[in-house]
Amino acid sequence: MPVPGILSSSVVPVDPSVEATATALTALLGGGWSVPPPGGGETATRWRALGRLGGESLPLARLAEGHADALAILRELGGPDPGPGARLGVWAAEPPTARLRARRSAAGWRLDGPKAWCSGARTLTSALVTATAEDGPRLFLVDLGAGGIAVDPTGWAAAGMRASDTDQVAFTDVPALPVGPPGAYVERPGFWHGGLGVAAVWLGGARAVAAPLRRAAGAGGRAADPLHDLALGTCEVSLAAAEAALQVAAAEVDADPAGLPAARRRALWVRALVARSAEEVLTAVGHALGAGPLAHDAAHAQRVADLTVYLRQHHAERDVAALGALLRGAEPR
């Protein structure tokens, strides 16, 4: 029986968690889920909605955030309407081992080559993909139901984020519609606003990871434990700091949605703070509760695994160093 949301079959069986996430995404978008665009006066509402999804399921939130980001990109760059019922994503990773190439032909643009880190590879209907063309890096809208697309789902070995259906995809003479001029994808404020949407999802996931600690604190008959209290306080400080940073960032984005230098600097420091806060929650909860929840609470163990993997989308010290490079010689705030 076809699984709602799964577009293509494979010799490799589809993992049940991928099927569940595909079905959930189809139901979510089919039910009319949407978020306001960033920079339109309701950025905080957008990020809160993404955070709530992150608290429910990080793989689902990963795909929903990609869909929302794709719509915002198309809006910002004047791209084509993807049509009703579309499930969109953004595939923009550029590792040196998987570079997609774009070429013009008599019939229009065509894409060839591998694309890595494609979340929703068998779940989405269309994707915005980056590719290298003769005139520079470009962004394209691709119908994933077109011929010439092959998904390799065998490379994902981790339990974390397995349900996000993140695979390598091979393109062979695939038709594509250009979105914006060369370089437009990264040379816009929305690129950085979108990165903060991801941070909002991390925060939602961190809140969910902290929930068993709060439940344990409220369990009747539990003896006072200063180290448990320390963990509770640590989580509160970390989560509150991340929430406050996103609130401040949302107000700044709405006040100056077109400011590119400020958007870049803001995204780097807020993402670093949220990622650090989430890592502090993972450590505090793990130390306070021990191995029990990881061994016996499947939902908690999955959330921990998902968040651990998803946080590595932040490049840790490398991204903080990039922030320092921006600040070097800049005017004090």
The C-alpha atoms of residue 105 and residue 228 are separated, in whole angstroms, by 64
**Among the listed residues 295, 191, 198, 283, the one whose alpha carbon sits nearest the alpha carbon of residue 234:** 283
306, two tokens:
């998902």
C-beta separation of 143 from 80 below 8 A: no
pLDDT (0 to 100) of residue 109: 97
Domain final residue pick, 179, 206, 236: 179
For 134, the domain range is 1-12+87-179
pLDDT (0 to 100) of residue 219: 62
pLDDT (0 to 100) of residue 9: 44
Say if residue 133 is in the same domain as residue 239.
no
Say if residue 210 is in the same domain as residue 70.
yes
Say if residue 238 is in the same domain as residue 295.
yes
Say if residue 255 is in the same domain as residue 330.
yes
Say if residue 156 is in the same domain as residue 200.
no
Q: How many domains does the chain have?
A: 2
pLDDT (0 to 100) of residue 225: 87
Say if residue 302 is in the same domain as residue 279.
yes
- Each residue's pLDDT expressed in tens, for the chain with a length of 333 residues: 345 566 654 556 788 999 999 999 999 999 999 999 999 999 999 999 999 999 999 999 999 999 999 999 999 999 998 888 999 999 999 999 999 999 999 989 999 999 999 999 999 999 999 999 999 999 999 999 989 999 999 999 999 999 999 999 999 999 999 999 999 999 999 999 999 999 999 999 999 999 999 998 876 556 788 999 999 999 999 999 999 999 999 999 999 999 999 999 999 999 999 999 999 999 999 999 999 999 999 999 999 999 999 999 999 999 999 999 999 876 555
CATH number for the domain that contains residue 130: 2.40.110.10
Q: Within a domain: residue 126?
A: yes
Q: Within a domain: residue 50?
A: yes
Within 13 Å, how many C-alpha atoms sit on residue 259's CB side?
A: 12
